[in-house]
Amino acid sequence: MVEAPVVPSKRTCPFDPAEEYGRLREEEPISPIRFKIAPQDPDGWLVTRHEYVRQILADDRFSHRNELCAHLISPPFPIEKYEPQPSPPGYFSRMDNPEHSKYRKLLASYFTVRKIREYEPTLVKLFDEVLDEMETKDRPLDLISEFCEIIPARSVCSMMGVPPDMVADMATHFAALFSLQYTLEEFLHHSGEVQKLLVQLVEQRVEQPSDDIFSHLMATGEVTVDELAKVAEIIIGGALDTTPNMLGLSTFALLEHPEQLEKFRANSENVEGPVEELLRYLTVSQFGASRAALEDVEIGGITIKKGQTVVLSLPAANRDPDFFTDADELDVTRSARQHVAFGFGIHQCLGQHLARATLRIGLSKLFDRFPTLRLAVDPSEVPLRERAAHYGVDELLVTWGD
């Protein structure tokens, strides 16, 4: 059995996946792995080729149900027996159809391209306010805490009706959970606090409805308080973790690739393409996606048996040289639209259009406002989130001016 890593080994470059993924993609794109904990058969597969990743993500013979899919990594605390349970009502990201589509359809209209375009003026205002605040602060400053994390938090407040003090508490607990560095006691504490806050949020929206997503969902009468709390966990948790990491890592990457930054700034009014390239090149969902085979399926000459878990490496797929020319190079002029940074198929990220708009507006405004923005430390001193659920940087000290 090939000892392929589920958790990436140490990166040699802060912007590249572990080198071993490239070797596996070339030599054994569907490679056997053994999980430390897994349901049923303890053996599974790691998929690293773009073609196969997209194929599996679009194939309904593979399930995303929680009780069938193994965790990608073991919990950071001792566990005697692993028995994954079905997702509770509302936690649609770990469900198959028809349950998944029930919740997805309720939410989809709030995250369409048209809806996000209508929301863009609010995003612009949020960014302008945060950049104004940044100008008043001492330098160097941490771009992650002073810029990247603030925007998604304020966006969650404005779109979803989360009170500012509540979203601050949620961010603290979600950050601890997404770090994947906790004891059993800490896990129970943070997950319990998240659930209490989410139920409190939904109950507030029932008692005091306003013009926000969760109030509108409750008004449909199609979801209970408990269901909506689980829906909120997915939407809010994703917003508070993925987008900040992409904003910070994208800034770091552009500062370390000045020739690409120059091209980015030269066309700052139309950066849809460069944002897609950053999503492809960086792919913060570093542990990929998991699926379980509902029947024997043959792909690429390999038979994946019923019940086996498949781990799909999205970063490796997005660096596939058979699909993207010079795939290991950052090129903001390339067309990277068919990347899988948001996944693919029915579980493709619900908030992808909001994420794109946030990256496009945020990066353009950041470099327009601070054309001399630069790192205030050596690149080797930038702390990386190598063990967290989503890759990024923990701190990015920057400065600007003469």
The answer to whether residue 14 is domain-embedded is no
Residue 301 pLDDT > 70, yes or no? yes
So what's the pLDDT on residue 1? 33
- pLDDT tens track for 215-248: 999 999 999 999 999 999 999 998 899 999 999 9
So what's the pLDDT on residue 257? 98
Q: How many CA atoms lie within 13 A of 328 on its CB side?
A: 9
Least confident stretch, 41-45, 299-303, 313-317 = 41-45
So what's the pLDDT on residue 40? 46
**Residue 119: both structure tokens together:** 């929301």
Q: How many CA atoms lie within 13 A of 334 on its CB side?
A: 20
Calculate mean pLDDT across residues 72-84.
64
The answer to whether residue 43 is domain-embedded is yes
Q: What is the C-alpha separation between 8 and 12, in angstroms, rounded?
A: 11
So what's the pLDDT on residue 298? 97
So what's the pLDDT on residue 2? 38
So what's the pLDDT on residue 361? 96
Calculate mean pLDDT across residues 108-115.
95
Read off the CATH number of the domain in which 271 is found.
Answer: 1.10.630.10
232 φ/ψ sector (left φ>0, alpha ψ -120 to 50, else beta):
alpha
Q: Answer positive or negative: Cα dihedral of 144, 147, 150, 156.
A: negative
Percent of the chain at pLDDT exceeding 90: 72
- pLDDT tens track for 112-127: 999 999 999 999 999 9
Calculate mean pLDDT across residues 71-89.
71
So what's the pLDDT on residue 73? 56
Q: How many CB atoms lie within 10 A of CB 314?
A: 27
Measured CA to CA in angstroms, residue 388 lies from 181, 193, 316 at distances of 8, 20, 17
So what's the pLDDT on residue 306? 93
Count of domains forming the chain: 1
So what's the pLDDT on residue 160? 86
Largest CA distance in the chain: 63
- The better pLDDT of the pair 279, 6 is held by 279
The answer to whether residue 177 is domain-embedded is yes
The answer to whether residue 12 is domain-embedded is no
Residue 20 pLDDT > 50, yes or no? yes
Residue 41 pLDDT > 60, yes or no? no
Residue 212 pLDDT > 50, yes or no? yes
Structure pTM? Answer: 0.94
The pLDDT mean for the chain works out to 90
Q: Which of 6-15, 42-51, 90-99 has the highest mean pLDDT?
A: 90-99
The answer to whether residue 244 is domain-embedded is yes
Calculate mean pLDDT across residues 207-217.
91
The answer to whether residue 2 is domain-embedded is no
Domain extent at residue 190: 19-395
**Residue 232: both structure tokens together:** 């909120």
The answer to whether residue 327 is domain-embedded is yes
